[in-house]
Amino acid sequence: MLEPLEATRVIARPAALDAVRVSPGTLLMRLALDDALVIGGDVQVDDPFAIVVPDSGWVAWRFGEDQLREALVRLCAFEIHAGLNQGMVAGLPAKIWIDGDRSLVIVAAAYAAEFEERFR
Amino acid sequence: MAVALLRQGIHPRGGGCICLGGDCPNCVVEVDGVAYVRSCQVAARPALEVARQTDTPRLPDESRPLETELRTAFADVVVVGQGESGLAAARDADGTVISFDAHRGEEAIGLYAGPTVVAKTPAGMVSVQCSRVVVATGAAEEQPICPGSELDGIFTKRAAESLRAAGIDLGDAVTIDEQPQRFEGSGRVEAVVTAAGDRIAASTVVVDLGLHPRSGLLRMGQGLEVEVVGDAALTDSLPPPPTEGVVCPCSDVTVSDLEAVWDRGFREMELLKRATLAGTGTCQGGVCLPHLRSYLAAKGVSTPAPFTARPLTRQATIGEVAAGYDLPPFRRTALHDEHLRLGATMDRFGAWWRPWRYPDPEAEYWSVRERVSLGDVSTLGKMEISGPDVVALLEKLYPCRVADLKDGQVRYALLLDERGYVLDDGLICRLSEHRFYLTFTSGGASFAEMWVRDWAETFDLDVRILDRTMSLGAINVTGPLARELLRRGGVDSPPAYLAHVDAAVFGVECRIVRLSFTGEVSFELHHPFSDSVELWRRLEEAGADLGSYPHGLDALFTLRLEKGHFIVGMDSEYDSTPRRLGLEWAARLSKPDFVGKQALLRTNRLPLNKRLLGWEMDGPAPIEGAILWQVATPVGQVTSARYSPVLAKTVMLGWLRSDPAEPEGISCDGRPVRHASHPFYDPDGARARA
Amino acid sequence: MNEFVESRVRLTWPDRLRSEYDVVILGGGGHGLATAYYLATRHGIRDVAVIERGYIGSGNSGRNTTVIRANYGVPEAIRFYQRSLELFQGLEEETGRWIMHKEKGLLWIAHTEMGLRAERARAALNHAYGAETVFIGPDEINEICPQIDLAGGGRYPVMGASYHPRGATARHDRVVWALAEGAMQNGVEVHQNTTVTGLKVSGDRVTGVKTERGDISAGVVMMALGGQVTMVASMAGLRLPIRSHPLQAFVTNHYQPGLDAIVASTELLFYASQTARGEILIGAEIDRQPSYSYRSSYGFLSSCAGRALALLPFLADLRVLRQWAGICDMTPDYSPVMGPTGREGLLVTTGWGTWGFKAIPAGGEAMAQLIATGEMPELIAPFGLDRFARDLPLSDRGSAGTQ
């Protein structure tokens, strides 16, 4: 159920990240003003000092939104909204992407074993 | 449950006025092995095991598995209590409303910042974050305080109504509406003597003594968005001062106990409470608080305030409140299963699982010293940093020079705090003019990003920062044959000592960093997390005929100690300056500025009160932490001690807590030790540079 | 009547606040009262007023988790707390009052190789400086406290422990009252419900205090103000290296005796013991955010309960009675500050973080000696405020029982 996530991490000037457009089918998660995780596509960013690296340090669990929301009610202590959510899920730092059938939960691969155990 | 018991003619606790409101301790029983359960707040179900609770229950011998869950919910308004006023408040509230109804077994146990209301419900624990709380908890009925109040057959008015509604015949019950002088009887009440002195024979007495607002949640919510409605908002009028009998049934405190401590000077509500324990039991003052206030008022203490309300207002078990809490997670490197396959004993270092030992410790050690060995160093802190101001920032952060590093060069560096104390150490690798790759210790990784970002902001420097600790693996290939192993992986020109190159090893893109922590030639291969297993297996296969064997941390600690490397947090202390560690060279005080420089300029002029020194002794190693003695005086403590197979003696690092010119006559573990310069092994570094 | 009703202590309160005393002590908690007690009983200095904002023991003295131990990690602290531990052992005999002192032994559990290393080193250092601490393995731990799950819930295996057999507990309120009574009997005045509004300063010298009930002149003013010290010190323009953080604890209903030892785990960040009355008392780490708030949090209760259960699963069915918070004055090095302030006439005892209760007798004894003689007693000389400027901190974070 957990699958490795092949992603690209982009650290750049906030304004440069603001201007990034990705093609349909590519998911860009804005983790912070200067930080984005891009899944399923390439990304060009207008910042000569940007750090753009492949990032295989994540695993993801794909869900339907309803299923995910139901599971999260007993595992996380913050309110889930559409799009990107970041916080602790079952005591693990996690990112939750809510977008209908394309919803997913992402944790660091180093936590994959703990996550599987806790997110039954 | 209380009603069911009373229907059978059984008083849950054997005696005491029954309120059925959850306000007193007089119906507590043991349910399924859990003591202090108010039977009036639990629904009777088949197969529940109910036992009368002795005054002090035994501690349980064991526990059942935890099954309670915590649900987190969000609402605009939380209404606690579903009497008339609570229902009205819920109906009239704007936005989403969540209500808790004690009659459905939903007990609010506490009101916390947020505001957040936590409740125990039949479905588990519920925590609701909201904008406003309405306390509609109603009022508790006053309990009789007089001799005989511990008898069976006494009910509050509401309890009597409930029992009658449940079809229980209360017989010749008489009702009194003033605190009586006493109840008479043996076991069961036989008569009540009223305030006026009339003796009325009755086997059941109903007391209708007035109401006191259940204000616990409200008082707990002071300073939060909390409003109170209905009976909970009543002005609390004081009962007549108690004159005789038990005031606090939870702790068995009588009026004469209050008198005794009052007379000896305990004249504050809190002192009275603490000196008698009144109000500190199961009902947390539910019964006694109005009477204690009245007692003090009668003594002339003006408007004695109720004592502080603290959670829990209603009780939950430790297992129940632990619901929803998850212990801190442990991290696994990508190679975790490889270590298990190789038979490693895993141990935890901070958050990470790491191999401590493999099945053949001798081979771990000698493969490094004589052949080649693999070590999993994925837990190292790893950071990429770039930007127009990156050099300026690193020059501030590190006490060594950074600007002069050439592309491809590596420098070992300390990291100091503002006091000049060593926070961490690691490597600075220059990738290009405006890009660097930094490493930190496994322990330092957790704060490194915060540290770097804080200073970047403090100095207003323009940099990009990415913590790569969790997304890159790292394998240390070390030993005299390390170069040969890399050659087999396709690396024909490995980096020179203290240099790095990016190159593929067995097809895996790696940043190869050359240094030496073990004392032998070492290449750290930093690579994508997802390629770790592939890289490790290929190195393992290719190294088999070279005599490769992996090494765990235990062996690594010996190897690095022979080489004289200290480990932050193991050998260093909180106040370890470079000078105390004997690493003055690592702080270049001629630099214009760096974090900790001002402190070092000042403290370097002070007397040196302790030093980390190298030591050696014959025979086996003492414990790490063994005391260094000078005759019968403790003068220091060993931080690391290992028997060195290659040197055939024990080598140690340890603090000397004084500054004699040449420490002499030092012993440890009953044996003489000698101060020795370190590195103990390969002091000129020829092997590491080879 | 329950057996714990205080049946002997007699507190006598002064009628009025005078305008001058030889010594004014700010704070009627353990340290303030102990100092007054030793001033009066050891040094014959009786013209002493203790000024308390609320009631005696209303601050951290009445909120702590009552552990007495000397198993610290720096020599200076071991000697100091060992002295305190010994004074505690004799306090019932000296005052004739029952403070419910009981030696229980303290287990400090290690769950990893690094933990083992730290506890072995602790035992060695304690032994060298006069405190009794030994390193023991799981079998001995099981003998001392059979309720401990040696598997640690599968996550925190019990690999060993340092065992401090003289570790004890006492009833915090009773300690306060015994010292208060002893001081009062010797002429010390304790003024409750008296709020300090300022310090009287003349040049560089503090000459007294201002209170809501009037000004007081004093030869010496000592601040013994848990949780409030930074605010009062600022009245003399003094900035202390202190940050105040809440520390929380909780207690269960009472049960028959059964948890004989004090159990602590630095990694799991909790400690547990059973009180004389039979309640199980559990505490943990300080809140990270500095604050003067006494409000409890459910997050603390839940996480502390969860961590305690990893080691002591038999606690699961005990019902929680009450939770509360105290305010800890934290120094950068996790050691207390005792002595002069740099303002003549003003002394301080502070930085008592999470370790103040256990230090009450030795802290009071030493501060009394300082006031009486004008010289820093050797036992506390390393704990002076000037240690930071002299770069001689006493770092002992690993012994705080907290993080």
Out of A12, A90, A109, the one facing B464 most closely (by C-beta) is A12
CATH code at B380-468: 3.30.70.1400
Question: Do the Cβ atoms of B311 and C322 come within 8 Å?
Answer: yes
| A116: contact with B, CB 8 A cutoff | no
Triad B54, B60, B63: Cα angle to 5°: 140
Q: What is the mean pLDDT of residues A28-57?
A: 96
Contacts of B570 in chain C (CB under 8 A): 114, 117
Element (H, E) at B175: strand B174-176
A62, A65, A66, A70 alpha-carbon torsion, rounded to 10°: 70
CATH class as words, domain C20-64+172-242+333-399: alpha beta
For chain B, the first-to-last Cα distance in angstroms comes to 82
Window 125-164 of B: residues touching C by CB (8 A cutoff) are 127
Q: pLDDT of B411-461, one tens digit each?
A: 999 999 999 999 999 999 999 999 999 999 999 988 999 999 999 999 999
On the CB side of B507, CA atoms within 13 Å amount to: 5
For A29, other C-beta atoms within 10 Å of its C-beta total 17
Q: Between chains, do C395 and B573 touch, taking CB under 8 Å as contact? A: yes
Å between B262 CA and nearest CA of chain C: 9
| Mean pLDDT computed over C142-159 | 96
Of B312, B356, B553, the CB nearest to C322: B312
pLDDT, tens digit (0-9, with 9 covering 90-100), for B3-34: 999 999 999 999 999 999 999 999 999 999 89
Nearest-angstrom CA–CA distance, B410 and B402? 10
Nearest to B408 by CA among B386, B382, B428, B387: B428
- Interface mutation vs chain C, best among B217, B318, B320, most C CBs within 10 Å: B318
- Residue A55: its chain B contacts at CB < 8 A? 471
Strand partners, B585: none
Selected for mutation to probe chain B from C391, C392, C403 (highest B CB count within 10 Å) is: C391
Task: Place C402 in a pLDDT band, splitting at 50, 70 and 90.
Answer: low
Question: How large is the average pLDDT for residues C144-162?
Answer: 97
By the CB < 8 Å criterion, does B529 face chain A? Answer: yes
Domain spans, chain B: 2-64+144-208, 237-316, 380-468, 606-690
Q: How far is CA C353 from CA A63, C72, C193, in A?
A: 47, 14, 24
From chain C, the residues in CB contact with B118 under 8 A are 298
Count of residues making up chain A = 120
d(CA C269, CA C272): 10
Report the residue of chain B nearest A5, measured CA to CA: B530
Residue C138: burial class (beta carbons within 10 Å; 0-12, 13-18, 19+) = middle
Measured between alpha carbons, how far is A57 from A42 in angstroms, rounded to an integer?
A: 18
Min CA distance, A5 vs chain B (Å)?
9
Residues across chain C: 403
Residue B630's pLDDT band (cuts 50, 70, 90) = very high
- The alpha-helical segments, DSSP class H, found in B381-467 are 390-397, 445-458
pLDDT the model gives residue B663:
81
Answer whether C5 sits within 8 Å of B277, measured CB to CB: yes
User: With contact defined as beta carbons under 8 Å apart, do B682 and B651 qualify?
Assistant: no
Under the banding of pLDDT at 50, 70 and 90, the label for residue B305 is: confident
Domain B237-316 has CATH 1.10.10: yes
- Section B557-562 average pLDDT: 98
B466 touches chain C (CB under 8 A): no
Domain ranges of chain C: 20-64+172-242+333-399
Please indicate if any CB of chain A lies within 8 Å of the CB of B131.
Answer: no
Selection from C261, C258, C262 nearest residue C270 by Cα: C262
Residue of A nearest to B470 (CA): A57
> In this structure, are residues B475 and B377 in contact, taking their beta carbons and an 8 Å threshold?
yes
Angstrom distance (rounded) from CA B63 to CA C147? 11
* Per-residue H/E/C for A16-38: HHHCCCCCCCCEEEEEECCEEEE
Q: Which residues in chain A touch residue B334, judged by CB atoms under 8 angstroms apart?
A: 109-110
What's residue B156's pLDDT? 97
CA-atom Rg of chain A in angstroms: 14
User: How far does B330 lie from chain A, in Å, by closest CA?
Assistant: 7
Mapped onto helix, strand or coil, the DSSP state of residue C142 is helix
Amino acid at the residue C158? V
d(CA B231, CA C331) in angstroms, rounded, equals 47
Is the pLDDT confidence value at B60 over 70?
Answer: yes
> B332 and chain A: CB distance < 8 Å anywhere?
yes
Q: Please determine, for residue B660, whether its predicted confidence score (pLDDT) is greater than 70.
A: no
pLDDT tens digits along C244-273: 999 999 999 999 999 999 999 999 999 999
CA distance B380 to chain A (A): 13
Best residue of B244, B274, B276, B603 to probe chain C, by most C CBs closer than 10 Å: B274
> Chain B closest CA to A49's CA: distance in Å?
5
Domain ranges in chain A are 3-56, 59-118
Would the CB atoms of C254 and B323 count as touching at under 8 Å?
no
Question: Contact B71/A90, CB-based, under 8 Å?
Answer: no
Band (B134; pLDDT cuts 50, 70, 90): very high
What pLDDT does residue C396 have? 87
- Residue B569 sits at φ, ψ, to 5 deg, of 90, -25
B113 in reach of chain A (CB within 8 A): no
What average pLDDT is seen over chain A?
92
Contact B634 C128 (CB under 8 A): yes
A40 interface with B at CB cutoff 8 Å = no
Mutation target among A46, A55, A119 for the B interface, most CBs of B within 10 A: A55
Q: How sure is the predictor about C3, in pLDDT bands with cuts at 50, 70 and 90?
A: very high
The interface predicted TM-score (ipTM) is 0.97
pLDDT tens figures, B98-115: 999 998 999 999 999 999
Which subunits have 3 or more CB–CB pairs within 8 Å of chain C?
A: B
Predicted pLDDT of residue B448: 94
A-B contacts at Cβ under 8 angstroms: 91
- Alpha carbon separation from B682 to B189, B402, B557, B571 (Å, rounded): 92, 27, 16, 21
Give the C-alpha separation, B26 to B3, whole Å.
13
Percent of chain C scoring above 90 in pLDDT: 93
Interface test with A, best of B386, B436, B472 (most A CBs within 10 A): B386
The per-residue pLDDT of chain B, averaged, comes to 95
Does the pLDDT of residue B50 top 70, yes or no? yes
B560-589 residues touching C, CB cutoff 8 A: 570, 573-575, 577
Which of A13, A57, A74 lies nearest to residue B529, judging by beta carbons? A57
Give the closest-approach CA distance of B540 to chain A in angstroms: 22
pLDDT computed for residue B63 by the predictor: 78
* pLDDT tens sequence across B267-302: 999 999 999 999 999 999 999 999 999 999 999 987
CATH class in words for B606-690:
mainly beta
Please tell me the predicted confidence (pLDDT) of residue C28: 98
